[in-house]
Amino acid sequence: MKQPLDLLEHWDREHCWHPFTPMAEYGLQRPTLITRAEGFFLFDQDGNKYLDAFSSLWCNVHGHQVAEIDEAIRQQLKEVAHTTFLGLSHPTAIQLARKLVELAPAGLTRVFFSDDGATAVEVAIKMAFQYLAQRPDPKPEKTLFLSLTGAYHGDTLGDVSLGDMGKFHALFKPLLFPTLKAPAPYCYRCPLGLRRESCAIDCAATIEKMVEENASRLAAVVIEPLVQGAAGMITAPAGFLKRLRDITQKHDVLLIADEVATGFGRTGTLFACEQEGVVPDFLCLAKGITGGYLPLAATLTRESIFQAFHNTPGGPDRTFQHGHTYTANPLGAAAAMASINLLTQPGGTLSQVMEKGERLQKQLDRLQEFPQVGEVRRRGLMAGIEIVKNRATKDPWPEEYRAGNRVCQLARKKGVMIRPLGDVVVVMPPLAISGELVDLLGEVLYNSFMEFALVAGREVLAT
């Protein structure tokens, strides 16, 4: 039974607890209910129309109400909506596993399904740990993990241990296991105080030293290839990823590639690792895997790693004791197969990402005329605009000013839905977005930044 919208708004305030949302502040305003979606647009309870320029949290690939994906789910419903993958199987997940192996970097032959990006990375952490303890030449002392400053790999406790998002993670420090943190390739605010023009990717040299010094106990390095998403769309310089792969191989350290955000065409190639010819030991996938339709994730790994989990008669139990109720859910797998087909077919969505990315870049370049824009960073169709108080000094705005949020609210009033990461405005439209809508997005961003610049300029002068 359909409920009145005002009642739903009331129930939302009374009962719903929204993630990453200050609920006291949320309760002071009328909630925005997305009541339907069509193409690249979302519609709220008042009929207002918004361009979905953050891909419904970075996962939408082809838009909403995509006929091919809708039909794939309907057909799967006629067969089975869900069956466990624990000791059983089903055709759709088998086909999806085969497809992922065919498309992934060569050598990744085994697929472990889970539910979302956090679980995909959590699986890789546990697999890496257990593999090292039971491989033919066991290294049980290798229990340490290394990740980058500013890292975000999810919100399960293993992922939070790898993470470095103080605002999100500091409270949970007593619950976490210790990890190493290496400097991220944040060239705009270089952690080593260097300039990109004269730097030989020195942060990679620092990582190499850390890996070398800790190789005897280091299990794996975990990285978001090419772009650190939640850190603020930090784009790594060319060669950084390849150098990191070489370093880990040299010192017998596993490489976990978290492509939850960068996978399925977001950076212009199906997987970001492809751009530097890197084959990780674990490839973590989620978000775009189903085109943004249903929760599903996958962790891919090498055959040699899989074989270390085989049991021998009378021998120790080597089983990977991990799983989820909805692992390899048939509806999610069906959506994924349809989405991947749309993405990779000749002339499909993937073939147009680079061109659309360049078109978006032309729109983003216009923002450089505003002194509050410190840097624009982009790979494919994922971009971040870092807002500063002073471009010359790169001084940030006080946190309480919420500069990024202000710009996003201005854009929303103009019909574009985006979300900030602190003072980085994230622009990540669906990959299938039209060129005309890219231009519309650019125009709204320009006007929003113009309005913000006028207000911010007056406020700076007043202080």
Q: Where are the alpha helices (DSSP H) in 345-434?
A: 353-365, 403-413
Domain boundary pick from 344, 367, 391: 344
260 and 361 within one domain: no
The rounded distance, in Å, linking the Cα atoms of 387 and 409 is 15
Contacts of 106 (CB under 8 A, 6+ apart): 279
Q: Please state, in angstroms and as integers, the Cα–Cα distance from residue 114 to each residue in 129, 147, 289, 415, following that order.
A: 18, 22, 12, 35
306 and 419 within one domain: no
Q: What is the pLDDT along the chain (463 residues), one digit of tens a residue?
A: 789 999 999 999 999 999 999 999 999 999 999 999 999 999 999 999 999 999 999 999 999 999 999 999 999 999 999 999 999 999 999 999 999 999 999 999 999 999 999 999 999 999 999 999 999 999 999 999 999 999 999 999 999 999 998 888 899 999 999 999 999 999 888 887 767 666 767 788 999 999 999 999 999 999 999 999 999 999 999 999 999 999 999 999 999 999 999 999 999 999 999 999 999 999 999 999 999 999 999 999 999 999 999 988 888 899 999 999 999 999 999 999 999 999 999 999 999 999 999 999 999 999 999 999 999 999 999 999 999 999 999 999 999 999 999 999 999 999 999 999 999 999 999 999 999 999 999 999 999 999 999 988 776 655 5
409 belongs to a structural domain: yes
173 and 51 within one domain: no
456 and 316 within one domain: no
The rounded distance, in Å, linking the Cα atoms of 237 and 255 is 18
Overall residue count recorded for the chain in this entry:
463
370 and 429 within one domain: yes
Q: Kindly report the pTM of this predicted structure.
A: 0.96
270 belongs to a structural domain: yes
175 and 81 within one domain: yes
221 and 131 within one domain: yes
Q: What is the CATH number of the domain that holds 90?
A: 3.40.640.10
Domain boundary pick from 344, 370, 391: 344
Position 462 scores a pLDDT of: 56
- Asked whether 106 and 283 are in contact (CB, 8 A), the reply is no
Look at the chain and report how many structural domains it folds into: 2
328-360 b/e with 16+ CB inside 10 Å = b?
Answer: bbbbbbbbbbbbbebbbeeebbbebbeebbebb
- Asked whether 110 and 359 are in contact (CB, 8 A), the reply is no
18 belongs to a structural domain: no
What tokens does 341 get? 């087909």
39 and 88 within one domain: no
Q: Could you tell me the residue range of the domain that residue 217 belongs to?
A: 69-344
334 and 367 within one domain: no
57 and 91 within one domain: no
What tokens does 140 get? 């049980």
Domain boundary pick from 344, 368, 387: 344
337 and 247 within one domain: yes
The rounded distance, in Å, linking the Cα atoms of 97 and 99 is 5
261 and 196 within one domain: yes
